[in-house]
Amino acid sequence: MNWLTGTAYWIFKDFSTPLRPDNPVPYMNQKGVVERDLTPKEAYYVFQSYWTQKPMVRIYSHTWPVRWGKDKENKTVKIYSNCSEAELFVNGKSSGKKKHNSQDFPAAGLRWSVPFKKGMNNLKAVAWKDGVEVSDEITFRYETRTWDQPTKLVLKEFQRRADSVTIQGLLMDSKGILCLDARNFVQFGLTGDGTLLDNLGTSRGARKVQLHNGQAMIDVQLNGGASTVSLLCNGYPTVFLNIESFSNKTNLKEVSRQERALYVAQLDRERIIKLATSYLDLKPISLRDYPAPSASRAGLGDYYSMGDYWWPNPDTPNGLPYVQRDGQSNPDNFSQHRMLLRSLRDAVVALSAAYALEKNEVYAKKAVDLLNVFFVDADKRMNPHLLYAQAIPGITDGRGIGIIDTLHLAEVPLAIEVLKTSNTMTPEILSSLKKWFADYAEWMITHPNGIQEMNAANNHSVAYLVQLAAFAKLTQDTKIQSMIRTRYKDIILPSQMDLDGSFPAELARTKPYGYSIFQLDNMVLLCHLLSIKEDNLWEFTLSDGRSIQMGLSFLFDYLKNKNAWPYPPDVEHFVQWPVRQPCLLLGAYAFNRPDYLALWKSLEADPTDLEIRRNLAVTQPLLWLIQSEDVPLLR
């Protein structure tokens, strides 16, 4: 055919063959540009950039969820496009434009050498052709830690859709680091009512498959029943995972808000009344009765605390400046104000919950009296700022990081909402309470310490937003509420959640289990406080699949069975976790997960460990489900 000119590629689609038993998907010829289910591979877009006329751009490595290397090491990014020019953005910043040159291999000159930051990274490519602009975007995690030899298999639920579940298998080292270069073959198995969706000849539809990026996945159709999935890999103990369908049970998503509140009220009634009664003789609480240390700059009514993990310097005569020991709390640091604030919260919310049950004014009066002294009385109240929170002797008088101390106030606005129906809550007191929280919220969003905390790259920014969302709900500040919704979708979820639903910044800490729980709890609280019909954060999903539902899927298996936790144990308080985590209760109703609700019900409601209590924004879950018009709930 001397008349034929041009280029061609064989083959278009993968096909089965008896000749390739050792391929990554056994017995599959995988030289196609699409898998057997027509899922395009990276090569598809390479050839598309050669042959198509319609403007296109594709960042090479969409199927690479975790990249690795040294910190600040330059890495190559390739873009395939038929456009004349393309620009690469790395974490929102331009790395420059490049011209398309078909003679410049590889990627026709559209390649950049750029450094990635540790943790989550975002790449965006923008290209232009004949006045048309096209773009592509990916998110991945950059791993700078080195892993040892693989030591353990991990099998977990990755994602759930209706009556099907995606199962993920991982190969990790003894430190819980994913072995990203592992190429072992693994084999999935299933016993029970479900069906393993295998023999599809694809990377996610094969019972036996080679690990890619240290992991493998497969889908299971639950068929309305229960199953046990297994994962086998030569040289490692086989692991198992029990999964269950909830299609034949009461749909928790359809349970009304009042019914949810009634369930918790009936479950917790005795506990609530006992706690509330114990606070009836509590003396009024005021920070001014416990002045800050004389060496601080805090005045009367100013909140003062010291950094948790900071200790006297053993190398200086006066112990200054303090030195950090991450994860190790200093018991000698000034913590009176933090404890007073927590005591105030515990008392007010317990009393308010008791009042909500039967509208007993005795409980309401005590709660309002405590609120009036702490927030309203000019001679007793706390000043609405945190200038001197988490100070470090010899280094700083206060830090933005200290705003996390008032996370315990996030539940107080919900108590105030319930107390609005009480005769004791006068319009004047209610107005003054709203003003205090409005003033504090204003300080949070305008002071440099608050802005710094809002921009934190870990759990601190989420805890900050939970507080702000609760305060804005009380003061009905729709502008702040809208800002937080946007920030959750555009910044928090994309930058802090990994593609598997985990939180890399928390897993890197010395207390990865506790911090992961803390972060998920607060992310869930944001969804609960801010979701409206027009902007439902429960349902919000990034283009790469990340969502709050994925976060719950990641952690649930380890809340249910802590022994399965594949990462290092926390240096402190590992035994005490988990307790009644609000993510389980609220997530159960948001996603119809009776297993979440059952686990929540079985856990400790009132932990005594002070470190655990310090990391709980919710102590009275009833208040998060009830509204003022529901009082009294137990009529």
Tell me how far the alpha carbon of residue 381 is from its chain's centroid.
34
Amino acid in the structure at residue 456: A
C-alpha to C-alpha distance for 140 and 135, rounded to whole angstroms = 17
For residue 147, what pLDDT is reported? 95
Cis link prior to 284 (omega < 30° from 0)?
Answer: no
User: What are the structure tokens assigned to 513, written together?
Assistant: 């289990």
Q: Which residues contact 378 (CB under 8 A, 6 or more apart)?
A: none
For residue 498, what pLDDT is reported? 95
With H, G, I as helix, E, B as strand and everything else as coil, classify residue 583. helix
For residue 5, what pLDDT is reported? 67
Phi/psi for 521 (5° steps) reads: -50, -50
CB 78 within 8 A of CB 107: yes
- Measure the N-to-C terminal CA separation of the chain; round to a whole number of Å: 89
Using CA atoms of 330, 331, 332, 336 in order, give the dihedral in degrees to the nearest 10.
120
User: What are the structure tokens assigned to 474, written together?
Assistant: 């009380």
Q: Which residues contact 575 (CB under 8 A, 6 or more apart)?
A: none
Question: Could you tell me which of 587, 554, 491 has the C-alpha nearest to residue 253?
Answer: 587
Residue 191 has a CB neighbour count (10 Å cut-off) of: 12
Measured CA distances, 530 to 190, 525, 562 (Å): 40, 8, 31
For residue 326, what pLDDT is reported? 82
For residue 466, what pLDDT is reported? 98
C-alpha to C-alpha distance for 298 and 291, rounded to whole angstroms = 8
C-alpha to C-alpha distance for 484 and 249, rounded to whole angstroms = 35
> DSSP secondary structure string, 422-476?
SSSS-HHHHHHHHHHHHHHHHHHHHSHHHHHHHT-SSHHHHHHHHHHHHHHHHHT
> DSSP secondary structure string, 482-506?
HHHHHHIIIIIHHHH--TTS--HHH
Q: Which residues pair with 233 in a beta bridge?
A: 236
Regions in the chain scoring below 70 on pLDDT: 1, 3-6
Question: Could you tell me which of 389, 431, 429, 432 has the C-alpha nearest to residue 408?
Answer: 389
Question: pLDDT of 386-443, one tens digit each?
Answer: 999 999 999 999 999 999 999 999 999 999 999 999 999 999 999 999 999 999 999 9
Beta strands in 82-144 (DSSP E): 85-90, 93-99, 111-115, 119-129, 132-143
C-alpha to C-alpha distance for 360 and 373, rounded to whole angstroms = 21
Three-state SS for 45-98 is HHHHHHHCCCCCEEECCCCCCEEECCCCCEEEEEEEECCCEEEEEECCEEEEEE
Question: pLDDT of 37-79, one tens digit each?
Answer: 999 999 999 999 999 999 999 999 998 899 999 988 999 999 9
For residue 249, what pLDDT is reported? 82
Helices vs strands, H then E, count in the chain: 16, 22
Largest CA distance in the chain: 100
Question: Could you tell me which of 165, 177, 159, 209 has the C-alpha nearest to residue 66?
Answer: 177
For residue 568, what pLDDT is reported? 94
CB 413 within 8 A of CB 396: no
For residue 559, what pLDDT is reported? 97
C-alpha to C-alpha distance for 464 and 449, rounded to whole angstroms = 11
Tell me the residue length of the chain. 635
Amino acid in the structure at residue 392: I
CB 474 within 8 A of CB 413: yes
C-alpha to C-alpha distance for 160 and 64, rounded to whole angstroms = 22
Measured CA distances, 89 to 96, 115, 130, 144, 259 (Å): 8, 12, 21, 21, 49
